[in-house]
């Protein structure tokens, strides 16, 4: 069974649905028409271009092109994480890229090569969407980890310096904030896993069912992707924060304010 196509008249009708939230927001006094319009336009253009590119990518199915696309995704995610976490890219870009690339490539390769086992490990049909889903969730976790850690550290600078004066090493002094940041980063994934199937049907599983897959096959793929998302989020957050510690402090274990983006 094939998925039913959504034709242009129905797409226009779909966009008309945006008028309802727009009117409600306007009614309560939120003048967000420009922001909403730009967001919808950008989403449409970006997804249309990605759709065209992915069709070409799937048709050619060349390992170098597939790898190049994943590299682009990693770079964009790297810069996005640092911007949203309030850190300057020129200091942390390499450390963050190393953390997310190592965790994403490891979990994606593990899933594709050892679990799914397609005829070609570089098959764009598998590595591109799977890497994208893992990376998207990993991105959010890293934003939370970095933002929470450095916000807590700056808010509790006196406590941190007291630990240092009492003889603690840098790692011993930052460990409480480090643990809380990692916990905050992975909590959304843990909550999602604990309620999945009861509160919501996840996107990948729904997409496969709409695409004609058997529900049990969709369940197995969803389990696989969630385990990889959880693993990559934990690995990337731990590695990313650990690498950042060598950059964010000077030789006297004082946080360098120049690495923080000004609001």
Q: Which residues pair with 249 in a beta bridge?
A: 255
- Measured distance CA(208)–CA(210) in Å, rounded: 5
* Verdict on whether the full-model pTM lies above 0.85: no
Domain limits, the chain: 1-60, 63-259
Residue 232 pLDDT more than 90? yes
Instruction: Read off the pLDDT of each residue in 122-146 and give the average, rounded to a whole number.
Output: 90
Residue for token pair 């034709």: 7
Query: Rounded to 5 degrees, what angle do the CA atoms 219, 125, 46 make?
Result: 100
Which residues in 226-247 are b (16+ Cβ under 10 Å) and which e? bebbbbbbbbbbbbbbebbeee
Residue 1 pLDDT more than 70? no
Residue for token pair 């496969």: 208
The stretches of 156-214 forming alpha helices (DSSP H) are 157-165, 170-195, 203-210
200 or 105, which is more confident? 105
CA distances from 243 to 7, 26, 98 (A): 49, 45, 9
Q: pLDDT, tens digit, for every residue of 210-224? A: 666 677 888 888 888
Whether the Cβ atoms of residue 86 and residue 260 lie closer than 8 Å to each other: yes
- Record the tokens describing residue 140, joined without a space: 């959010």
């Amino acid at each position: 069974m094939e998925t039913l196509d959504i034709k242009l008249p129905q797409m226009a009708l779909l966009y008309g649905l945006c008028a309802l939230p727009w009117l409600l927001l306007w009614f309560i006094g939120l003048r967000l028409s420009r922001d909403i319009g730009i967001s919808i336009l950008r989403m449409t253009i970006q997804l249309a271009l990605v759709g065209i590119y992915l069709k070409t990518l799937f048709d050619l199915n060349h390992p170098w092109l597939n790898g190049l696309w994943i590299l682009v995704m990693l770079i964009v995610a790297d810069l996005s994480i640092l911007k949203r976490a309030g850190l300057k890219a020129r200091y942390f870009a390499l450390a963050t890229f190393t953390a997310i690339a190592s965790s994403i490539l490891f979990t994606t390769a593990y899933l594709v090569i050892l679990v799914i086992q397609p005829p070609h490990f570089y098959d764009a049909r598998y590595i591109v969407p799977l890497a994208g889903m893992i990376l998207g969730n990993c991105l959010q976790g890293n934003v939370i980890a970095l933002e929470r850690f450095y916000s807590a550290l700056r808010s509790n600078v006196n406590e941190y310096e007291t630990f240092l004066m009492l003889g603690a090493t840098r790692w011993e002094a930052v460990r409480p904030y480090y643990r809380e940041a990692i916990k905050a980063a992975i909590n959304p994934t843990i909550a999602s896993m604990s309620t999945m199937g009861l509160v919501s049907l996840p996107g990948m599983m729904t997409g496969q069912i709409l695409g004609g897959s058997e529900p049990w096959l969709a369940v197995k793929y969803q389990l696989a992707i969630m385990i990889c998302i959880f693993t990559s989020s934990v690995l990337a957050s731990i590695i990313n924060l650990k690498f950042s510690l060598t950059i964010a402090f000077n030789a006297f274990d004082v946080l360098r304010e120049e690495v923080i983006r000004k609001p």
